[in-house]
């Protein structure tokens, strides 16, 4: 077969071991892997890529069928080999196991029958009908399936005692099956606290007990050093060998990549001095930005515009499912039921586009007032009062920003007529007036028009220095952009994106102007990042993984691994997935066993791509998918409620979670706290709750966990560290040990109780609005479409740390939408109470409010929901009405 790409080259059909498709930034690629070479054919539509891959596979199979037909005299030898393994019934048979046996027979027919791309569905019926009966295990998927089902059933009985005491526990039925089954590609979809690591230990122990592999043929990959150390310790203990004598390799992706390079090149790769430091990458990015701001005026302008004028995307209201979701999105905070948006000038405005205008004016030192009352007099002497959006005192100019689209219409009823009446009024009163529109924001001409109008009126424009900006910018906004940039750098470098690619992708985002601005910024920073590495003659971790992949694909490194096990597979990134594929495809008949929980995929900012997990078969080939649905951690109420919550995203893999712990009634509790001068004091509520827990647990001292005298464990968790109630000084109690962490750092931990702080709406609340930034879609080939998908998974992680109970402390006026969802799922099992434990009356309509006493204007008392006006429920009344959107953009 001839491949045309740059220089033409021929590749023997027999040498092609894999054909797959991959979604790139702007197009789809077809990847052809042959023995000793890998090539990608880019620039295809999705449909064209799928068709081309299918055509190549069909072409290869036509060649294989010809080889099989030409050597009928070899069929008897293959028949004998197949009968020996089938009739022996002593191991699970993956396609590669059958192929390995056939490969022991000489001749082209046997080689064709054992080829990894052989597809029996494409085999001509005349050829299939003439094959010996034993070949059915090759040509009929049902035949091999029936054999394996019978084998698993027998093996479960034979190894009952083995699995009854493995890694210090008795395995569940699903764990036992996962240890026995071993297709060429395997994905074990686990639940939180379901024994993922134990199953990996069991898999290794079973494979060695069956003598399927030598210990040195087994590789276990973890994502961090601590996880690798724990797995190594547990495997050594199970096999009853010293850790130093363990021949299975248990390591991290980084250590494996470093080892591959060192073995081939004779020396370890020179890693940049910042990669091993937890905040090293962030410091480098901060330094690059600082240097560019000081030396590159164009970059300084772009960076300032991004931070000041475009801190978040302007996404239109019609994208959101409900008015309330749009109001939540546009607002920095919700007070008294109305959306308010702050600006750097200190002015509170009513739309994101107005916020951008106000911030642009502040950046350029333009004096203005917002919605200033202006008094005018009609011809008959009648006084009228106008309230324009912006008023410029230097020239007495009025500026209205109208929610008018390019065709002159507005999404709001009667708005266009209202805007025209305003224009006529300003002309009638002889007021200097100009307007901007939403259409200009969409066409990216808004600020050009604004600047031109101000310059025409000789309003001075003087950009503030970056030093001035740094004094007022919120640190969390800058931190967000730094983290976003770090993620994008990984994708840009790994996928060799160009600026033109990024700018083209920006056209598909909602806020195109912001996206193009960011694309130029992150491209410039990436260039400097790459230059720093080149000057120091160093590489970073991602480059190291890529170099290792290149050495494996090129054949310079010979893999000894026939069984590759991957822990926490939901955190996989494309470079790491490529390394696994390269290792597996280079070593004939090797297998992959991946374990993870897509519900706990929370590291997109570190480069993970959840679709590699959820579309496992598309990425790795035909596979077996198992589940671990029994949790040993949460009680049934928490486990079931959390599972239903996370599965509201239809893209998550469906699981039914069962707990070994019975449901604890009302073990999910909501603790609303009131504002204190505009700020909710979560620290005070947290300490009160801890004191109360300590006193309660004193009364059940005989009910200690595991029957020991140890204290109960309480995890206090928060979305952002600025909510930390302890300031690194953990309190001590008689009956509880307290640990405080962020949601992310709590992953993998467990406790008796958890307290989740600030489960409230807000940019930095739960869900965090700034984390779900559409700018990531510039570099992620397969972006998620479900709103706040990763934030939902992160909240699931926080919910499922506790075995006995979860407390959600929330701002009583701004409860998180997730609290309502939990109430919809669990109903009366969610209890609302004060931090002292007094029950609160939950609103039966909105579910997140409390029924409190209120007074009418005439002084009469009634009971109603504290979420008014979002919820207008009164005690004894029914129905709920939502306020309409303010007619602005």
Cβ 284 vs Cβ 554: under 8 Å: no
Which of 288-292, 561-565, 860-864 has the weakest average pLDDT?
860-864
Give tens-digit pLDDT for 405-459. Answer: 999 998 888 899 989 988 988 988 889 999 999 999 989 999 999 999 999 999 9
What is the chain's mean pLDDT, rounded? Answer: 88
Tell me the two tokens of residue 217: 């043929």
Quote the pLDDT of residue 347.
Answer: 72
Q: SS3 sequence, 342-369?
A: ECCCCCEECCHHHHHHHHHHHHCCCCCE
Q: Report the candidate in 485, 530, 529 with the shortest Cα–Cα distance to residue 307.
A: 485
Residue 6 confidence (pLDDT) above 80: no
Distance CA 440, CA 589 (A): 60
The predicted model gives 647-659 an average pLDDT of: 94
Q: Supply φ then ψ for residue 387, to 5 degrees.
A: -130, 75
Compute, in degrees rounded to 10, the torsion defined by CA atoms 555, 556, 562, 563: -110
Distance CA 201, CA 169 (A): 12
Q: If DSSP codes are grouped into helix, strand and coil, which group holds residue 19?
A: strand
Which of 344-358, 442-456, 601-615, 796-810 has the weakest average pLDDT?
344-358
Confidence of residue 475 (pLDDT cuts 50, 70, 90): confident
Distance CA 40, CA 5 (A): 9
Q: Which CA distances in Å does 103 have to 99, 100, 322?
A: 6, 5, 61
Distance CA 685, CA 682 (A): 5
Quote the pLDDT of residue 336.
Answer: 35
Quote the pLDDT of residue 588.
Answer: 86
Residue 604 confidence (pLDDT) above 90: no
Q: Report the candidate in 816, 877, 818 with the shortest Cα–Cα distance to residue 851.
A: 877
Quote the pLDDT of residue 769.
Answer: 79
Tell how many helices (H) and how many strands (E) occur in the chain. 31, 32
Extract long-range pairs of 877-884: CB within 8 Å, 24+ residues apart: 878/845, 879/845, 880/845, 880/846, 882/322, 882/323, 882/324, 883/323, 883/337, 884/323
Q: If DSSP codes are grouped into helix, strand and coil, which group holds residue 851?
A: strand
Percent of the chain, pLDDT > 90? 59
Confidence of residue 883 (pLDDT cuts 50, 70, 90): very low
Quote the pLDDT of residue 466.
Answer: 85
Quote the pLDDT of residue 20.
Answer: 83
Residue 406: exposure state from Cβ atoms within 10 A (0-12, 13-18, ≥19): exposed
DSSP structure class, residue 532: H
Residue 875: exposure state from Cβ atoms within 10 A (0-12, 13-18, ≥19): middle
Which of 473-482, 487-496, 705-714, 794-803 has the weakest average pLDDT?
705-714
Cis preceding-peptide flag for 869 (omega within 30 of 0): yes
β-pair partners for 741:
717
Sign of CA dihedral 728, 733, 736, 737: positive
Name the range with the highest mean pLDDT among 514-518, 609-613, 679-683: 514-518
The predicted model gives 684-696 an average pLDDT of: 94
Distance CA 584, CA 269 (A): 23
Cβ 738 vs Cβ 730: under 8 Å: yes
The half-sphere exposure of 873 on its side-chain side, counting CA atoms within 13 A, is 21
Give tens-digit pLDDT for 449-460. Answer: 999 999 999 999
Give tens-digit pLDDT for 227-258. Answer: 999 999 999 999 999 999 999 999 999 999 99
Q: Report the candidate in 379, 781, 774 with the shortest Cα–Cα distance to residue 618.
A: 781
Cβ 475 vs Cβ 284: under 8 Å: no
Quote the pLDDT of residue 22.
Answer: 77
Q: If DSSP codes are grouped into helix, strand and coil, which group holds residue 43?
A: strand
Burial 55-76 (b: 16+ CB within 10 A, else e): ebbeebbebbbebbeebeebbe
Tell me the two tokens of residue 505: 């992708």
Give tens-digit pLDDT for 72-118. Answer: 988 999 999 888 888 877 889 998 899 888 888 999 999 999 888 88
Distance CA 803, CA 162 (A): 28
Distance CA 683, CA 688 (A): 9
Which of 40-44, 553-557, 822-826 has the weakest average pLDDT?
40-44
Quote the pLDDT of residue 373.
Answer: 84
Q: Which CA distances in Å does 625 have to 172, 189, 417, 530, 654?
A: 17, 7, 60, 40, 12
The predicted model gives 564-588 an average pLDDT of: 93
Number of other residues whose CB lies within 10 A of the CB of residue 474 = 15
Burial 478-505 (b: 16+ CB within 10 A, else e): bebbbbbbbbbbbbbbbeebeeebbbeb
Quote the pLDDT of residue 881.
Answer: 40
Compute, in degrees rounded to 10, the torsion defined by CA atoms 873, 874, 877, 880: -10
Quote the pLDDT of residue 89.
Answer: 76
Give tens-digit pLDDT for 340-382. Answer: 456 666 677 778 889 899 999 999 999 999 988 888 777 666 7
Question: Based on C-alpha coordinates, what's the Rg of the chain?
Answer: 32
Quote the pLDDT of residue 557.
Answer: 95
Give tens-digit pLDDT for 279-288. Answer: 788 889 999 9
Question: Beta 802-811 vs 751-756: how paired, if at all?
Answer: parallel
- Greatest alpha-carbon pair distance for the chain in Å reads 112
Which of 22-26, 278-282, 378-382, 777-781 has the weakest average pLDDT?
378-382
Give tens-digit pLDDT for 289-316. Answer: 999 999 999 999 999 999 999 888 877 7
Number of other residues whose CB lies within 10 A of the CB of residue 317 = 17
């Amino acid at each position: 077969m001839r491949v045309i790409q740059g220089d033409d080259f021929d590749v023997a059909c027999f040498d092609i071991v894999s054909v797959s498709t991959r979604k790139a930034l702007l197009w789809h690629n077809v990847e052809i892997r042959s023995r000793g070479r890998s090539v990608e054919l880019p620039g295809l539509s999705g449909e064209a890529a799928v068709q081309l891959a299918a055509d190549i596979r069909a072409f290869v199979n036509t060649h294989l069928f010809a080889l099989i037909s030409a050597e009928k005299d070899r069929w008897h030898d293959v028949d004998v080999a197949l009968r020996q393994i089938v009739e022996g019934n002593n191991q699970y048979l993956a396609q590669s196991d059958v192929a390995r046996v056939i490969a022991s027979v000489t001749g082209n027919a046997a080689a064709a029958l054992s080829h990894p791309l052989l597809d029996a569905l494409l085999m001509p019926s005349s050829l299939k009908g003439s094959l010996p009966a034993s070949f059915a295990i090759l040509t009929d998927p049902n035949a091999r399936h029936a054999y394996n089902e019978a084998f698993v059933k027998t093996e479960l009985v034979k190894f009952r005692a083995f699995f009854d005491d493995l890694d210090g526990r008795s395995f569940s039925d699903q764990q036992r099956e996962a240890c026995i089954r071993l297709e060429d590609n395997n994905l074990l979809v686990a639940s939180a606290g379901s024994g993922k690591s134990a199953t990996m230990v069991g898999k290794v122990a079973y494979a060695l007990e069956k003598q399927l592999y030598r210990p040195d043929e087994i590789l276990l990959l973890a994502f961090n050093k601590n996880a690798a150390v724990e797995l190594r310790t547990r495997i050594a203990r199970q096999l009853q060998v010293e850790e130093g004598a363990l021949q299975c390799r248990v390591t991290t992706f980084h250590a494996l990549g470093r080892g591959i390079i060192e073995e081939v090149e004779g020396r370890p790769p020179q890693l940049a001095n910042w990669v091993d430091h937890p905040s090293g990458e962030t410091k480098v990015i901060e330094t690059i930005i600082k240097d560019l701001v000081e030396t590159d005026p164009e970059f300084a302008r772009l960076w300032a515009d991004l931070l000041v004028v475009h801190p978040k995307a302007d996404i239109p209201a019609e994208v959101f499912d409900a008015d309330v979701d749009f109001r939540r999105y546009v607002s920095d905070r919700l007070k008294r039921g109305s959306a308010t948006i702050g600006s750097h000038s200190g002015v509170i405005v009513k739309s994101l586009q107005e916020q951008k205008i106000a911030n642009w004016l502040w950046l350029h030192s333009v004096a203005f007032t917002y919605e200033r009352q202006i008094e005018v007099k009609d011809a008959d002497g009648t006084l009228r009062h106008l309230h324009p959006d912006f008023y410029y005192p230097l020239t007495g100019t009025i500026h209205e920003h109208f929610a008018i689209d390019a065709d002159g219409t507005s999404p709001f009823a009667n708005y266009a007529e209202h805007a025209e009446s305003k224009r006529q009024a300003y002309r009638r009163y002889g007021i200097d007036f100009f307007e901007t529109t939403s259409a200009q924001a969409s066409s990216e001409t808004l600020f050009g028009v604004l600047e031109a109008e101000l310059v025409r009126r000789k309003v001075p424009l003087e950009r503030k220095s970056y030093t001035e900006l740094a004094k007022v910018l919120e640190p969390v906004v800058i931190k967000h952009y730094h983290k976003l940039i770090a993620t994008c750098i990984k994708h840009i470098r790994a996928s060799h994106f160009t600026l033109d690619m990024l700018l083209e992708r920006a056209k598909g985002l909602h806020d195109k102007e912001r996206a193009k601005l960011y694309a130029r910024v992150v491209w410039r920073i990436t260039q400097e990042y790459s230059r720093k590495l080149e000057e120091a003659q160093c590489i970073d971790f991602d480059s190291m993984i890529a170099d290792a992949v290149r050495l494996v694909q090129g054949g310079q490194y010979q893999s000894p691994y026939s069984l590759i096990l991957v822990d926490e597979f939901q955190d996989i990134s494309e470079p790491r997935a490529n390394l696994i594929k390269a290792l597996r495809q280079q070593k004939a008949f090797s297998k992959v066993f991946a374990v993870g929980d897509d519900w706990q995929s929370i590291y997109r900012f570190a480069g993970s791509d959840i679709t590699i997990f959820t579309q496992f078969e598309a990425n790795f080939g035909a596979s077996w998918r198992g589940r671990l649905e029994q949790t040993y951690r949460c009680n049934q109420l928490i486990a079931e409620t959390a599972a239903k919550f996370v599965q509201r995203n239809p893209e998550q893999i469906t699981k039914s979670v069962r707990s070994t712990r019975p449901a604890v009634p009302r073990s999910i509790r909501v603790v609303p706290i009131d504002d204190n001068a505009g700020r909710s004091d979560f620290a005070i509520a947290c300490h009160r709750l801890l004191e109360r827990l300590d006193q309660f647990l004193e009364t059940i001292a005989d009910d200690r966990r595991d029957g020991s005298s140890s204290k109960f464990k309480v995890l206090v968790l928060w979305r952002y560290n600025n909510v930390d109630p302890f300031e690194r000084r953990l309190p001590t109690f008689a009956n509880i040990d307290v640990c405080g962490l962020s949601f992310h750092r709590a992953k993998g931990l467990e406790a008796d109780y958890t307290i989740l702080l600030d489960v409230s709406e807000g940019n930095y609340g739960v869900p965090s609005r700034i984390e779900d930034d559409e700018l990531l879609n510039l570099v992620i080939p397969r972006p998620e479409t479900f709103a706040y998908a990763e934030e939902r998974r992160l909240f699931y992680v926080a919910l499922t740390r506790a075995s006995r109970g979860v407390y959600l402390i929330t701002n009583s006026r701004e409860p998180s939408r997730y609290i309502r969802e939990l109430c919809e799922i669990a109903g009366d099992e969610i209890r609302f109470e004060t931090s002292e434990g007094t029950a609160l009356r939950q609103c039966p309509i909105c579910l997140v409010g409390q029924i409190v006493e209120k007074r009418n204007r005439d002084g009469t008392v009634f009971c109603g929901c504290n979420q008014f006006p979002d919820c207008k429920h009164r005690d004894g009344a029914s129905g709920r009405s939502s306020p309409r959107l303010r007619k602005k953009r």
